[in-house]
Amino acid sequence: MEKLFKIKERGSTVGTEIMAGVVTFMTMAYILAVNPDILSGSGMDKDAVMLATCLASFVGSMCMGLMANLPFALSAGMGVNAFFAFTVCGTMGYPWQVALFAVFVEGMIFIMLTLTNIREAIFNCIPMSLKQSVSVGIGLFIAFIGLQNSNLVVKSDSTLVDMVDFSDALYTKGICAVLAVLGLLLIAILHVKKVHGSILVGIFFTWLLGIGCELLGFYKPDADAGFYTLIPSFRMTDFSALGKTFGQCFNIDFSGIGIFNFIVVMLSFLFVDTFDTIGTLIGVSSKANMLDEKGRLPGVKPALLADAIATSSGAVLGTSTTTTFVESAAGVGAGGRTGLTAVVAAVLFLISTLLAPIFTAIPSFATAPALMFVGFLMFSNISKIKFDDDNLTEAIPAYFCIVAMPMFYSIADGIAVGVISYVAINLATGKFKKINPLMYVLAGLFILNYVFL
């Protein structure tokens, strides 16, 4: 243990690392309910996605623990799974098998980019203010998804979005919104009281309240309207369901798509995943105070390599991009300082395959409070951004980055806006010496991406 993880050298103990791994798993286990719910929107089987998520989380977290010796756990990334389901498979209309293959290809490209230090250079060239804003923006983006899934936010012809009509509280949509609010309040209270696993408790509490409402007749299942029964059917995990997604990324027909169109999709994933991954890793490291004074993460190269390997293996298993989770900061807060924390979380994800029927039965309005509260955890990094007059050339691009993510419904677009505006503002105000040369390249690539892709 000591030779592999250097536990004593980092001022920790085996017991502390194990407990930190349990805490990390408990705070991010909601993804086992959320990811199948999101990806099922692309036509994928919920049970298959759940199993793929467990196995991809196991592989990614084990790689992070053993290769990078960092206490970060990995699972299907929030934000990029929404891009997968709602943009690539929804707006663009591509089959989910094509989207999975695109994830696999860009994962392999990431491995090569990591081995050549390009991803590490990108990570290090982004200024600290933008790194903090990425975490904040992702938080708002995830919270917005939660507001939609809870039915608290509904469509509006005049203002694009509006609040649900609570006056009709007995209507099923209103009940879902009310229950989501109660679940969010519970999570917040438990978190303040420092109860580990508060997010998971909130999910199950909201779900149980929903079952009670269904039994009392307030919640009325209507499959056509997207409201299904909340009462789970207890059964053994059907491991054969994994066959519905395993290896399907290689079972595609380009005849109806075209190689050029696929390259466009793959490059879109490449841009989204590159900066989603870097942004999330920045957010986790920043939240856990693991960045040095220059904003760099010691051991970032093996961490990025573990992330890339997890992405490709996750695509083969049947899930969207696997990435480092910001909730890993909870494990760090519990004392986790080595890769043993990640290994423990990995083992727990593997055991969770036995609970697949339970997690896949959890409704969207029950997982929505988790998304909204995780948004708060990430939003708290805004306090680290300096908004005084002496730092306006840092603060303004950070603000643009934060606002763009939820408004454009894209993490990658948020980072693009932040990078382009940072270069433009500092260049125009004569502060070009502070701009890393690689930032000019990134800004140019982002502009080309908008023009041609």
Integer Cα distance of 222 and 220 in angstroms: 6
Answering whether pTM is above 0.85, one says: no
Nearest to 74 by CA among 37, 21, 38, 113: 21
What 8-state DSSP symbol labels residue 387?
-
Strands 74-76 and 322-324: antiparallel
Give the distance between the most distant pair of CA atoms in the chain.
67
Integer Cα distance of 299 and 306 in angstroms: 11
Domain boundaries of the chain, sorted by first residue: 2-229+245-452
Integer Cα distance of 453 and 445 in angstroms: 11
pLDDT tens per residue, range 189-218: 998 998 866 877 888 899 999 999 889 888
Is residue 67 scored above 90 in pLDDT? yes
Integer Cα distance of 341 and 27 in angstroms: 13
**Which stretch of 151-165, 224-238, 315-329, 387-401 has the lowest confidence by average pLDDT?**
224-238
Task: Output the pLDDT for position 357.
Answer: 75
Name the pLDDT band for 427 (thresholds 50, 70, 90).
Answer: very high
Task: Name which residue leads in pLDDT, 234 or 198.
Answer: 198
pLDDT tens per residue, range 378-414: 787 788 888 988 889 999 999 999 999 889 877 778 8
What 8-state DSSP symbol labels residue 222?
B
321's tokens:
């991009």
Burial of 192-218, coded b for 16+ CB within 10 Å and e otherwise, reads eeeebbbbbbbbbbbbebbbebbeeeb
Half-sphere exposure in the Cβ direction for 443 (13 Å, CA):
19
Integer Cα distance of 103 and 266 in angstroms: 7
pLDDT tens per residue, range 123-181: 678 888 887 787 788 788 878 888 988 889 888 888 888 888 776 555 677 888 899 99
Nearest to 434 by CA among 59, 129, 104: 129
* C-alpha distances in Å from residue 307, one per residue of 60, 65, 340, 410: 6, 11, 17, 20
Name the pLDDT band for 349 (thresholds 50, 70, 90).
Answer: very high
Task: Output the pLDDT for position 60.
Answer: 95
* Residue 336 dihedral angles phi and psi, to the nearest 5°: -65, 130
**Which stretch of 99-103, 104-108, 204-208, 259-263 has the lowest confidence by average pLDDT?**
259-263
Integer Cα distance of 242 and 117 in angstroms: 35
Length of the chain in terms of residues written = 453
Name the pLDDT band for 346 (thresholds 50, 70, 90).
Answer: very high
